Amino acid sequence: MENKAVFFDRDGTLNVDIHYLHRPEDFIWIDGAKEAIKYVNDRGFLAILVTNQSGVARGFYPESDVQRVYDWMNAELGKIGAHLDALYYCPHHPEAKLPEYRKICTCRKPATGLIDKACARFGIDRTKSYFVGDSEADMLCAKNAGLKGLRYEGGSLRELLVKNIITDKM
């Protein structure tokens, strides 16, 4: 049986976008973000975080900080009975300060590598899945990956999902 998923961008979609966020103490949830994740959990969708993290390539923080913020997010979500099922991130950038991360890759959004990996791992049916993000790159990634794109432009993230995600068994 194929799964359905909602892919979430992080910065500017789930949290207030401060450049190169890498510490839980600097994380500020977007209005309705935790509730949006619970909404998709409760409706049988996988909730998957997909995020570009060029701060790693620029040498601002190590990859372990990306995982640490994700773990903190899940701990906070657990307080309301919600969770993210997986984290996929791109640490690369074509102009990276650190040579090991300096490359053009298939995982940096709007490329679809992060989505492709998650779909392969979880058996996700793209025709029943969504990508929620705040940027044109996110919407292009959704289109290229065969997902329905939902652009977050402010207000309650949960309300955006309630208005746009079909909640039957699909």
Catalytic residue among 11, 65, 85, 134: 11
- Segments making up each domain of the chain, as ranges: 5-161
Query: Residue 13's CB: how many other CB atoms inside 10 A?
Result: 24
Is residue 125 part of the annotated active site? The answer reads: no
One DSSP character per residue, 116-139 reads HHHHHHHTB-GGG-EEEESSHHHH
Kindly report whether the global pTM for this prediction surpasses the value 0.85: yes
Spans of the chain below 70 pLDDT:
1, 166-170
In the prediction, which pLDDT does 169 show? 42
Is residue 85 part of the annotated active site? The answer reads: no
In the prediction, which pLDDT does 170 show? 39
Fold of 5-161: Rossmann fold (3.40.50)
In the prediction, which pLDDT does 165 show? 86
